[in-house]
Amino acid sequence: MGNEAICKAHFGKTLMGKALLETSELIFRPADGSPSRKLPFSTIKSAQAIDGQLRLQTPGGPAILELGSNAEKWCHKILHPKTRAEKLGVKPGIRVSLLGDFDQEFLRELRASTENIKEGKIDPGSELVFLSAGSTRYLSSRINKAAKTIQGATSLWIVYPKGKKEITENDVLSTGRKSGLKDTKVVGFSATHTALKFVVPFDQR
């Protein structure tokens, strides 16, 4: 989840509501129940923080959010969004294990940061484990084994396709929790996939 703020916004007309700064878009949900406004970072033409206002130029015209002290921080995040690797916690030299199939672009991103990559099996010393699941059946057979293998603060990312009946977010959450893990974060992995992060509960490490 990103940052949240109750604020006044101007989209041609003035509205009160909740603004949410997510990893790749800004969402404004009006308090009057009118449709939410979604502004993907990639479509924002310019962003400025002036006198506590976040001023944006969007394809639909100017948008202004009165965020006070948060305006500069939000502006910086919009202009300098995290890379996918950063959002997933990939750091130089980190030890990573991969289970399942991943696209070549993601593999290139990983290899640009680390050579410590184990494929097809979990390295007990891995700090990050990525498990790609295309169906609930595949996920169930793999996540229980993974949950018994990861230790300490190791993060297990379950990567699954969006909008597929074979596996849904609820399926992933339910399976992960039943295996004794705790879900802590969700990230847009790609245009077609989502990633959910699980860890061993703190009191069981």
Task: Find where tokens 């989502």 sit.
Answer: 194
Shared-domain flag, residues 146 and 166: yes
Shared-domain flag, residues 12 and 75: yes
Percentage of residues in the chain having pLDDT higher than 90 = 79
Number of domains in the chain: 2
Give the domain-ending residue among 39, 63, 81.
81
Shared-domain flag, residues 116 and 73: no
Q: What is residue 171's predicted lDDT score, i.e. its pLDDT?
A: 95
Give the domain-ending residue among 36, 56, 81.
81
Give the domain-ending residue among 63, 81, 99.
81
Shared-domain flag, residues 9 and 91: no
In this structure, what CATH number is given to the domain that contains residue 135?
Answer: 3.40.50.150
Q: If DSSP codes are grouped into helix, strand and coil, which group holds residue 56? A: strand
The residues pairing with 167 across neighbouring beta strands, listed in sequence order, are 164
Shared-domain flag, residues 15 and 77: yes
Q: What is the pLDDT of residues 56-108, one digit of tens each?
A: 999 999 999 999 999 999 999 999 988 889 999 999 999 999 999 999 999 99
Shared-domain flag, residues 45 and 63: yes
Report d(CA 178, CA 176) in Å as an integer. Answer: 6
Report d(CA 141, CA 119) in Å as an integer. Answer: 17
Which pair of tokens denotes residue 107?
């593999």
Owning domain of residue 101: 85-204
Q: What is the pLDDT of residues 10-26, one digit of tens each?
A: 998 999 999 999 878 89
The answer to whether residue 2 scores a pLDDT higher than 70 is no
Amino acid present at 56: L
**CB crowding 62-72: b at 16 or more within 10 Å, else e:** ebbbbbeebbe
DSSP string, 38-51: EEEGGG--EEEEET
Shared-domain flag, residues 105 and 182: yes
Report d(CA 139, CA 164) in Å as an integer. Answer: 14
Shared-domain flag, residues 36 and 123: no
pLDDT tier for residue 1 given thresholds of 50, 70 and 90: very low
Shared-domain flag, residues 33 and 51: yes
Report d(CA 74, CA 67) in Å as an integer. Answer: 9
Kindly report the pTM of this predicted structure.
0.72
Q: What is the pLDDT of residues 125-163, one digit of tens each?
A: 999 999 999 988 888 889 988 999 998 999 999 999 998
pLDDT tier for residue 124 given thresholds of 50, 70 and 90: confident
